[in-house]
Structure 1
Amino acid sequence: MAVTQEQLEKLFGFAVEFAQDMLQKNGEFYPFGATLGRDGQIAAEGGYDGDDDHPSTQDVYVAVSDRLAAAGADGRIHAAALVANATVPDELEAPSRDAIRVRLEADGFARFIYVPYEPSSEQSIRLYDPVLIDIDPAFFPV
């Protein structure tokens, strides 16, 4: 089954909405993942399953990335999103340096999508237009 643009958009929307909720509630979030399963369903991929109550953000990112790469390589999923709270590179000239960064991948498709944001009021986050960067695949090897 080829992944449709609509399915990628739903996966992306799921990821950004969850990240936005976490930012509004906590002001930050640990990296997490989301997948489009073989059955067409979107599922969250937890951030960390280790023993440390306060793992480093990098450790969580690597753990989720490794799980998504394994699932993509063995065909358990059709698409994946790896989400992190990131800084937009200066050369992208975004309206805010803070961003929700989504690594969105499917077979033949790999992008970083930065969604710049800033607090707009108490418990509210303003999202700006996404900035897209084509990248090399990590979860669905060519």
Structure 2
Amino acid sequence: MNIEFDALYASTQPDLEAVSGPLFDFSALCLKKRGNFLPHGALLKKDGQLVLVSAAPNGADGHSTSVEVLPLLHDGLRQRARELGARAIGVAENVTATREGQAPATAIKVLFEHENGLTVALYLPFKKRFLRAPELGEIFAASAEAEVRAWASSAA
């Protein structure tokens, strides 16, 4: 990571926590109750209010997949960010993550994008356990490319 990234990260810490905390909590609850979850998101309005966002394909019969839901969620977050005046957004999904020097592990990923240009991926590794809540690891962060691009110019 570099000095500019570190400064953006530090200045955005309260927004990062406001968005990622509820997304991690809801994802962990879904893992505990259902063993999995579909991508879901949140946006932080300029006034500090958090709005949770989900998506489903038209005509969904309850059997949607992450591949179907993720692009719809991104589109919905972009639209809601414009309508509501968002300063930050987050997207949670169930992924396999590899931390440097370690074996791949399942993790809750929260992709955080801020209007100041910061994009970071937070990962919370977990292990499923038979008839018990999943065992959660330690959160780690990595720089990431924006996926939602809620503040991209319309000319881009």
Same fold (TM over 0.5): yes
Q: 1:93 to 1:121 in 2, by over 3 A?
A: farther
Equivalent in the alignment of 1:129: 138
2:16 to 8, 11, 16: 8
Is 1:141 the counterpart of 2:152? The answer is: yes
Question: 1:23-61 deviations in whole A, cap 9, x for unaligned?
Answer: 000000011111111321112101325212112211101
Is 1:100 the counterpart of 2:108? The answer is: yes
Q: How does 1:100-119 map to 2 (within 5 A)?
A: 100-107=108-115, 108-119=117-128
Q: How does 1:1-142 map to 2 (within 5 A)?
A: 4-48=12-56, 50-53=58-61, 54-72=63-81, 76-89=85-98, 92-94=100-102, 97-107=105-115, 108-120=117-129, 122-137=131-146, 138-141=149-152
Question: Please, what is the CA RMSD of the aligned residues?
Answer: 2.3
Task: Give, in whole Å, the separation in 2 of the partners of 1:67 and 1:129.
Answer: 30
Q: 1:94 to 1:69 in 2, by over 3 A?
A: farther
Q: Figure out how many residues of one structure are paired with residues of the other and give that number.
A: 139
Q: 1:93 to 1:102 in 2, by over 3 A?
A: farther
Task: Give, in whole Å, the separation in 1 of the partners of 2:83 and 2:51.
Answer: 17
Whichever of the two has the greater Rg, that structure is 2
Contact 2:36 2:94 in 1 (8 A): yes
Q: Which ranges in structure 2 are unaligned for 5 or more consecutive residues?
A: 1-10
Task: Give, in whole Å, the separation in 1 of the partners of 2:54 and 2:17.
Answer: 20
Contact 1:96 1:118 in 2 (8 A): no
Q: 1:94 to 1:115 in 2, by over 3 A?
A: farther
Contact 1:88 1:114 in 2 (8 A): yes
Aligned-residue sequence identity (percent) comes to 24
Which amino acid in the other structure matches residue 134 of structure 2? I
Task: Give, in whole Å, the separation in 2 of the partners of 1:95 and 1:122.
Answer: 25
